[in-house]
């Protein structure tokens, strides 16, 4: 299982303790995704960020719902890689 997170470079120069807002999911649990496919939009300090699937697979579980916040390094979803 692969944990999907907001890329570490998106958090560069962001104060510790700052959280991002998961604005919108573009996929749902059980959906099949391709590597590089946008799966969620998040807002971090008034900047929109896009989270993409790291590999081909299926979204097994969404851990952070739309309109919820999350901290740096916290997984927002679990992805089962296609074999």
- Report helix, strand or coil for 8: helix
E strand spans, 1-83: 2-4, 20-25, 32-33, 38-44, 47-52, 57-62, 69-70, 77-81
CATH number of 64's domain:
2.40.50.100
| pTM, rounded to two decimals | 0.88
Question: Residue 16: is its pLDDT beyond 90?
Answer: no
Residue spans of alpha helices (H) in 1-83? none
E strand spans, 5-54: 20-25, 32-33, 38-44, 47-52
pLDDT digits (tens, 9 = 90+) for 24-46: 999 999 999 999 999 999 999 88
Number of domains present in the structure of the chain: 1
Domain span including residue 18: 2-81
């Amino acid at each position: 299982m692969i944990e999907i997170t907001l890329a570490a470079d998106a958090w560069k120069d962001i104060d510790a303790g700052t959280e991002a807002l998961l604005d919108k999911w573009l996929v749902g649990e059980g959906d099949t995704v391709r590597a590089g496919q946008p799966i969620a939009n998040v807002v971090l300090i008034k900047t929109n960020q896009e989270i993409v699937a790291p590999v081909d697979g299926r979204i097994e579980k969404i851990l952070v719902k739309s309109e919820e916040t999350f901290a740096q390094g916290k997984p927002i979803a679990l992805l089962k890689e296609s074999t």
